[in-house]
Each structure stands twice: as structure tokens, then as C-alpha cells.
Chain A
Amino acid sequence: MFRVSPAPHIKSNLSSRKIMYLVMLALLPAGIAGVYIYGLCSLKVIFISMASCVLWELLFLKFRHKDPRIVLDGSALLTGLLLAYNLPPEVPFWIPVVGAWASIILGKQLFGGLGHNIFNPALVGRVFLQISWPVYMTTWKNPRWALDSVSTATPLAKEGARSFSYIDLFLGNHGGCIGEVCILALLIGVLFLIFTNVISFHTPLSFFGTVMVLAWIFGGKGIFQGDPIFHLLAGGLILGAFFMATDYVTSPLTRRGKIIFGIGCGLLTILIRLKGGYPEGVSYAILFMNAMVPMIDRYTKTRKYGLVKKGR
């Protein structure tokens, strides 16, 4: 007639799956902006990426004799979406397929699936593609309305170029990856995620705070001559700081840890952007810091109640 269950007997209605779908919902405006700016080719990339992530995960689960319903947890779809947002809009169709393989199999399932991966799966996919097919991964497309529609470089690649106004950068009126260009659309999603308490602001704030301060100090010709706003708006910083660095599985547990993690990401990003061989460093920075998470966790435990000095 009735069952016996352990306490607590009531649970909050926020489940892991719901969190995944909330994040996807928050990413929707950026996707719409990407499709609007670069045309239907971006939609094709998004679709192929998401579908192949799900298929690769299904294949792997079948191969490992696991319950195929695990694929419904939404994490594969989210990884596919984030991977697509990190790709240029006009890549050949097999690029997202291979990227999805790297994300899901190499990045996630080989470690034991959701919750066990060390590195952010979508970034593993992106970096895999970046190293293997650098030409495809750096062939950018101008917005639909631009006169020369083919291959232009991103704002970050044009060394010190000021050909883009802040408003162009903010609205995404330039070449770049599908999901990272329109800051406005991303910020709508960010507000939604912070309002629904899905992400905390500790990692993103310390991340782009560090980037902006360091860009201001070292980004220009002399010291304190840099342009922090440009470094904030150009490239994948907003997408990376709010949607990739905040990935629960691959970021530290405590608030202090999250702040340290964000500062580390910021340091590495600016180091790569200003001194490294690549124009953009957000994804490498986050991946490097992912590897540091177990150590950060070890040294940033919470302070428990009742840890008071004896004798008063």
C-alpha cells in the first residue's frame, strides 16, 4: 500500500536533466543570433553537431552495455550545442561529426560518463579540431550583409586593429564562431542562468575581471595602455567564461575555488592572446585550468560550523 523511503521525503524540483535543458534554453538567443548573422549554414553545423553527439553517445552506451536512456540526461545535446558554438559557420559537414566524437568519446565517456570527465567535453572537441584541421577551423565568414562574404579574420587576429567599433563587437557584426559573436544574445542567456540560479557568478567575474585588468596593463604598446573592453568583447571570452568555465563537472566545488579557477583562466587567456602563437586562448586556458581542479579542490575546502577556538 505504501513505500518506505529515506529522509528527506521532499526534494527540490531541479534535476540534473532540467539544469541541462535550462542551459540550452539560455544558449538559444546566441544560436538565433549566429544563424541570423551568418545564415543557414550555422544552423546546419549546430544540427549536425548536436545529432552526432547524441549518436556517438548512443553507440558508446550500446558498446558498453549501458542503459541507452542515459542519453536523455541532456548532457550530450548540450555538449553538441556548445561544440557548434565554438566552430566557424562554414566548416565542412564532417568537422562537427569528428568534433562530436572527440567530445563525447575522448572527452566524456572514456572517463566514465557525465560527472567523471576531467576536461570540458565541448572544448576537448574544439581543441582536437583546431589542432588537426587548423585551416578549416580558422576560415571565417563575414556576416551575410558584408560585401566580401568569404574568409576574413576575427578581430583578435588583426593585430591591434581598431577596424571594429565596440558596438559591432557587442552585436556580433564581424567574423567569428557561431555562438560567440553576439555578446548581447549571450548576455540575455547569462541573465537567465543567474536569475534561475543555475550558475554562480564567481568563476565568470574573476575570469574576465583578470583578463580585463591584465589587458589594460599589458595589452597596449606601453604599460597601462591596453584596451580592456576590446579584450572583453572580442573572441570567445563571454561564451567561455559564462558557459564553459562554469561547467559544474570540470570546475571547483567551493566559492573560493571557483574564484581561483577564474583568475587562473584569465591569466592563461591573456598570456596566450598577447604572447602565444594563437590569437585566441580562452579554450586552452579553460582546459589547462580543468586539469588543476582536483588540486584547487584539495586546498579550498569549506570552513565547517563549530571550528572555534577553545576557551573564551
Chain B
Amino acid sequence: MNFIHPPEFKESTRHKKIETAPLPGRAILPLSQHAGAPSEPVVRVGDAVKTGSLIAQAKGFISSNLHSSISGKVVACEVFTHPIIGRFRAIAVESDGQDTRAFPDSHRIASDIGSKEIIDIIKEAGIVGLGGAAFPTHVKLSPPSGKRIGTLIINGAECEPFLSCDHRLMLEKPKEIISGIHLIAKVLDVREVLIGVEENKLDAMEALGSALFRLKASLDFAPLVALGTSRDRQGLKIKIIKLKTRYPQGGEKQLIKTLLKKEVPSGGLPMDVGCVVDNVQTVFAVYEAVYFGKPLYERVVTVSGSFLKNPKNLKVRIGTPIKNLLEFCGLDTKRDIYDIIMGGPMTGVSQYDLDAPVIKGTSGILVLDPRFENDEENDCIRCSRCIEACPAGLMPCMIGLGTKNNRFDIAGLYHPLDCIECGACAYVCPSRIPLVQYIKLAKMKLKKK
């Protein structure tokens, strides 16, 4: 498998503790923040809501609940700027500044909760994959009967440059993450859990390891077998695995190949090779939902890049406009900014409106300066760097060539549908060809057929 090694740019935030961002005056909560069907509003304009009140319901099997992230009044339900898909219907909540909660916030004893109940809690809490794809977690955790899940993989690779939110969460909340892992392992009834962390986060690995040890000691589990490896009474084996720092190590399929030496069949899902992959932030959200009844209405976001006086890792309410966060981190808006991105620099989306809200899948907000400006596109010189970089084993230049000449029949011969859109090919391309865009176009054309 191929990987690339872009510069990390993580130094400015990796040592910064997670801070709580100020409450937004108005939260904009798009109805489509997840993979699958948009949720259906259950509140009307003028209704009073509390923090954590259900405001939109899952519609269909693959969908997710949506909760208010602040307390106040619903002021609008119309089309707003959406950070990923441009514009979409959203519910706007005006804050009353009280932040009264709609859930009890008392510790629940989780040891006697059944796995069916855990799935229901996850579904009610509107938890989706927080690594970026935002696939509803309860769907992932209910594999069709006949699919045997043997391994749970926890994704703490965080291979995108600049981002450090998962790193900080593992460092600051290791105990909670381990507890969350136990919950998910119970649901899936797996015996083996692998936590994959890139080796540029050794401190996070240590934190997880000692949390694992302490938790087991306090719960009178069997003694440690090896560093970071032990079996508890239910036979659950949790292993923390050091991964090489390379991109896209945290891609689901790449992580599975590295850890299990198995390839997910083309067009298949991780469950086809008997595993489920969850991001550390998702695990943390599951922990909070099960133990405290807290719905998913906030997450940790890295705000970093150029022109920021204080780049930070922030605990942010979903729906906070990115302008608030950039101002909180001291953005100098007078400077000539090149690009503002939601997500990582390799796969993130450029923003055209600073009123766009943080959504469930937002891992970072980055400000880039003109230093990162793209050069003009040139013709392909067939250097084969994209082929050497492609983690999916494709030939991006050939797909690009076919698409550019409107020959989607040729582009289709090179398997564009297997592209994971990680951007490694376009990163290395010396001719600055926007290969990911060409491949996306080829995908669209081929799917239409």
C-alpha cells in the first residue's frame, strides 16, 4: 500500500489543552449533517428549546437525530449556508444565554445496560461518525445478521496535517474513551479491540495505556499481560497499536489493511472482513450519551493555520458559525487570506461564507495563507508520482486523462469508483492537476450510467 508524507503542521496546537468555546448567540443546525436522509424537524418557529432538546428526527433507516446545542428559541427553519454542500435547510436557534439542559446530567450506572439499550441510546443521542464521514453510528453497530464482527478498531490515527483534536481528546479523556470502547465492544460482542494511533502521538498512547491499566486494576481485572494488552473477565482484549506517521493512515480501509492485513473488498464495507472502525471522538460521544444521557451537540474542533493569534483546540457547540471561532482565536481579517477550510487540508472543503456553522463532522477549521496557493495546471508528464502515492492502488493520472478528454469509457477502465478521495495524488502531482476533481467527475458520470 502506498502512502505520502506531507508536513505535519501540528506543532501550533498539539500542546494546547482543549478549551471551551463561548456559546454562540445563534446556532444554525443544518438538517443534513450526516450520511443518509436529512432529519425531519419536530419543532416550529417560536418554540422554546433547551440544550440537548430533540429538534429534528431521523427519517429512514440511515439517518440521525438532531438536538439543539443551546437553550433559547427556534427563530427560523429555512435554507442557510451549509459548510459542505453549499446551502441546505437548517434550524436556527437564538440563545437565551442560560444554557439550561434538557437532560438530567447525572451519572448512570452503565454496567447492567444491555447492548440493545446502548444502541437505542446512541440512536436517540444522534451520534454519527465524528471522523468526518458522519455515518450514523447506530447503523454501523447493528450489522445484518450473518455478518460476524470479530474486531473493533478505534481510529486515533489523525493523519491529516494541522489537526490535533483527536490527539488532545485521547490525551485528556483516556479513561472515558476506554469506557466508551467497552460499551461499543459489548454491543458488537467482539473479543478484540485495536486502537490505532500514529507514532507522532506517543503521549496519547501512553495516556490510553495507563488509563487501560488503571481501569482494569480498579475493576479487579486480570493483570496486565503485556504493555497495553490485557484481557478482562469477559475476554475482551484491548491493544494499543503504534502506527507509522503517514497519510492517509487514518483512512478506514487503509487502517484495516495495516492492522488486520486484510483488504475490504472493492465496493464492500469493513464488516465484510469482520470489523467495525470508530473514531475516538465517536467513542467519547457514546460514553457521554450512555453514562450521562447527553446527546451529541458538541465536539472538539482544531482551529489552526496562519494569521491566528492563538490557534486552539476548542470544544464547540454544533451550529456555531465559524466566524465566532476564528474571532475567538484572534484571526487578523485584514490580512490577505488565501483560503478558509473546514476539515483537514487534504480533504477539507473551502468556505465561501464565514456564517457557515460547525457541523457534527467538522474536525478542524483552518486558515491558509497565499503560500499554499495552487499553481496553474499543466499537462501530465507521466511521472507516475500519483500512482506511487495512491493508497487505493489506482492510476489517478489515467483517470484524469480520460476525464479531461471526455472519455469516461477510458476513465472507467481505471476504477475511479474505488477512489477514497484522500487527495494524495493531487498533493504529489508536479503538474498541479486537480486529480481528485477529475476522479469525482468520472465517478458521477459512471454512476449516472
Which residues of chain B have C-beta atoms less than 8 A from A28's C-beta? none
Residues 370 to 427 of chain B near chain A (Cβ within 8 Å): 372, 374-375, 378-384, 387, 390-395, 397-398, 414-415, 418, 423, 426-427
Q: Could you say which of A16, A114, A306, A310 contacts B418, with CB atoms under 8 Å apart?
A: A306
Does A302 lie within 8 Å of B394, measured CB to CB? yes
Residues on A with beta carbons closer than 8 Å to the beta carbon of B265: 306, 308, 310
User: Distance (Å) between the CB of A242 and the closest chain B CB?
Assistant: 16
Say how far B10's CB is from chain A's closest CB, in angstroms: 13
A305 at the interface (CB under 8 A from B): yes
- Ordered by A's residue number, 6 sampled pairs between the chains whose C-beta atoms are within 8 Å are A6-B434, A8-B426, A9-B372, A115-B379, A304-B393, A310-B265
Q: Judge whether A295 is part of the interface by a CB distance below 8 angstroms.
A: no
**Chain A residue with the shortest CB-CB distance to B374:** A5
Q: Looking at chain A's contact residues, is the secondary structure mostly helix, strand, loop, or mixed?
A: loop
Neighbouring A residues of B437 by C-beta, 8 Å = 6
Does any Cβ of A come within 8 Å of B338's Cβ? yes
Q: Which B residues are CB-close (under 8 A) to A301? A: 395, 414
Total number of B residues with any Cβ neighbor in A under 8 Å: 64
Chain A residues touching B, range: 35 or more
Which B residues are in CB contact (< 8 Å) with A8?
A: 345-347, 423, 426-427, 436
Residues of A within 8 A of B263 (CB): 305-308
Which of B52-60, B100-108, B192-200, B349-357 contacts the other chain? Answer: B349-357
Q: Which of B337, B350, B380, B381 contacts A1 (CB 8 A)?
A: B337
**How far apart are A94's CB and chain B's nearest CB, in angstroms?**
31
| B430 and A306 contact, CB distance less than 8 A | no
Give A171 to B394 CA distance when docked, in angstroms: 43
Q: Does B333 contact A (CB under 8 A)?
A: yes
> Which residues on B sit within 8 Å (CB–CB) of A249?
381-382
Q: Does A19 contact B (CB under 8 A)?
A: yes
Whether a CB of chain A sits under 8 angstroms from the CB of B432 is yes
Q: Say whether A248 faces chain B, with CB atoms less than 8 Å apart.
A: yes
Whether B431 is near chain A, meaning CB under 8 Å from some CB there, is yes
C-alpha gap A307/B426 in the complex (Å): 24
**How far is B437's CA from A19's CA once the two chains are assembled, in angstroms?**
24
Q: B325: shortest Cβ distance to chain A, in Å?
A: 15
In the bound complex, do residue A5 and residue B339 qualify as a contact, i.e. CB atoms below 8 Å apart?
A: yes
- Check A305 against B418 for contact (C-beta < 8 Å): yes
Nearest A-chain residue to B6, judged by Cβ:
A10
Q: Is the beta-carbon distance between B339 and A2 smaller than 8 angstroms?
A: yes
* A305 and B6 contact, CB distance less than 8 A: no
Closest CB-CB distance, A310 to chain B, in whole Å? 7
Q: Does A11 contact B (CB under 8 A)?
A: yes
A149 within 8 A of B: no
Give the residues in chain A near B414, CB-CB below 8 Å.
301
> With the chains together, A18 CA to B431 CA distance in Å?
10
Shortest Cβ distance from A298 into B: residue: B413
Q: Given contacts A4-B352, A7-B347, A116-B379, are A305 and B1 in contact (CB under 8 A)?
A: yes
B393–A305 touching, CB < 8 Å: yes
Q: Least Cβ distance of A108 to chain B in Å?
A: 12
Rounded to whole angstroms, the CA-CA distance of A128 and B429 in the bound complex is: 33
Judged by a CB distance under 8 angstroms, whether A12 is at the interface is: yes
**Given the interface contacts A253-B397, A305-B253, A306-B264, does A15 sit within 8 Å of B432 by beta carbon?**
yes
With A114-B381, A301-B414, A310-B265 as contacts: A6 and B387 at CB distance below 8 Å: no
A305 and B426 contact, CB distance less than 8 A: no
Query: Which of B6, B333, B383 touches A19 (beta carbons < 8 Å)?
Result: B383
